[in-house]
Amino acid sequence: MKFCSDCGSSVSQQIPKGDNRLRFVCNDCETIHYQNPRIIAGCVVEHDNKVLLCKRAIEPRKGYWTLPAGFMENGETVEESAVRETWEEALAKVSNPELYSMFNLPHISQVYIFYRGSLLAGEYGAGEETLESRLFSESDIPWNELAFPTIHKALKHFFSDTQNDHFPVRIEDINFSKK
Amino acid sequence: MKFCSDCGSSVSQQIPKGDNRLRFVCNDCETIHYQNPRIIAGCVVEHDNKVLLCKRAIEPRKGYWTLPAGFMENGETVEESAVRETWEEALAKVSNPELYSMFNLPHISQVYIFYRGSLLAGEYGAGEETLESRLFSESDIPWNELAFPTIHKALKHFFSDTQNDHFPVRIEDINFSKK
């Protein structure tokens, strides 16, 4: 951030009065511009003991497999966001979505939130950001071609929890800056 | 948003190519400025069947009672954020925090996430944004002087779940624009 989005003047990093963190503050109108983490919402969609994955048509990680997921938008609930992304990326509808996992990625200020649900009518396809979608059983998951660590973790949890038919909300931190 | 935070030129609302939503786009450098929901993290802190509330020293809702909570910051996990806010507002440390509730407020693009935990050493106080902190039993909760609907819901869930000694993750949507 270099300029104030309110008045167009230059900003500088300062610790505002009563605060303890550096913020971008306008040198002219003194507006404080807070920056906060973003939520990425998606779904683990199951059908016949298989999970729906999408091959990414866009960077980052083009050509790698992902669970349908994307940035939560203003005006949505987390569940609405997860279900919308599943439709946009995999042309799939989710029945009975339930909160399933929350992954913190503090080094990039992201929180991944996955819902778990069933594939409605067994129908899916490829949205604009997807090369192809496919249902994978555990033994067929392309573990070395997954797009992100969060996808790997969500799938590992899912197949493990499937064995016990018990799906507690899974929370994990993935912090590469500490490794 | 009126000006581009990258180059200082004016922005206008447009639907970028491949997108389906209005975004602020710079008229000069064409940077797309996405805006996303924010997470507010806090804690339901229990001690001797009582819950710790803070009387707000700042607007909005100055003088009303709240659970310690605030905006999640970049570089944090949700739990770290909830625990930090509890320290900053109530000078209280939380033992064994566990995810407890998620409230969607799509009309203001906020997601409240509460952790539940015990008060460490029974110690608390009033941080800079707090007039006073106090432990309330269910019958003493100032139900008509709570700061926000999320606080009301979190407390109702908590005292109800306490009776069963079972605390599932509670998810609710609070959408005033639909009422």
Which one of A7, A74, A170 makes the best mutation probe of the B interface by having the most chain B beta carbons within 10 Å?
A74
Using a CB-CB cut-off of 8 Å, the residues of chain B touching A169 are 99, 169
Cα atoms found within 13 Å of the Cα of residue B17, Cβ hemisphere only: 2
CA separation (Å) from B92 to A141, B45, B69, B87? 45, 9, 12, 5
Q: Identify the contact set of chain B against chain A, taking CB-CB distances under 8 A.
A: 1-11, 18, 21, 33-39, 71-80, 99, 102, 104, 106-107, 109, 111, 128, 169, 171, 173
Same domain, A49 and A87: yes
Same domain, A83 and A108: yes
CB contact under 8 A, A39 and B39: yes
Same domain, A106 and A136: yes
Nearest to A106 by CA among B86, B100, B80: B80
For residue A13, give both structure tokens: 């990093």
Same domain, B31 and B42: no
Same domain, B25 and B102: no
DSSP chain A: --B-TTT--BEEEE--TT--S-EEEETTT--EE----EEEEEEEEEETTEEEEEEESSSSSTTSEE-SEEEPPTT--HHHHHHHHHHHHH---EEEEEEEEEEEEGGGTEEEEEEEEEEGGG-----TTEEEEEEE-GGG--GGGBS-HHHHHHHHHHHHHHHHT--PPEEEE--GGG-
Same domain, B17 and B86: no
Which one of A77, A88, A98, A113 makes the best mutation probe of the B interface by having the most chain B beta carbons within 10 Å?
A77
Tell me, yes or no, if the pTM score tops 0.90. yes
DSSP state of B146: B
Which bin fits A40, alpha (ψ -120 to 50), beta or left (φ > 0)?
beta
Same domain, B24 and B54: no
Candidates A1, A6, A109; nearest CB to B74: A109
Q: Which domain holds residue B4?
A: 1-35
Q: What is the CATH number of the domain that holds A145?
A: 3.90.79.10
Closest Cα in chain A, distance from residue B158 (Å):
18
Same domain, A107 and A152: yes
Question: Mean pLDDT throughout B70-74?
Answer: 98
Same domain, B119 and B143: yes
Tally of structural domains, chain A: 2
Q: What is the CATH number of the domain that holds A27?
A: 2.20.70.10
Same domain, B10 and B94: no
Residues B101-155: tens digit of each pLDDT: 999 999 999 999 999 999 999 999 999 999 999 999 999 999 999 999 999 999 9
ipTM of the complex: 0.95
Using a CB-CB cut-off of 8 Å, the residues of chain A touching B2 are 5-8
CB contact under 8 A, B5 and A2: yes
The pLDDT of residue B179 is above 70: no
Say whether B59 sits in a helix, a strand or coil: coil
Residues A81-100: tens digit of each pLDDT: 999 999 999 999 999 999 99
Candidates A3, A4, A38; nearest CB to B36: A38
Same domain, B55 and B23: no
Same domain, A82 and A18: no
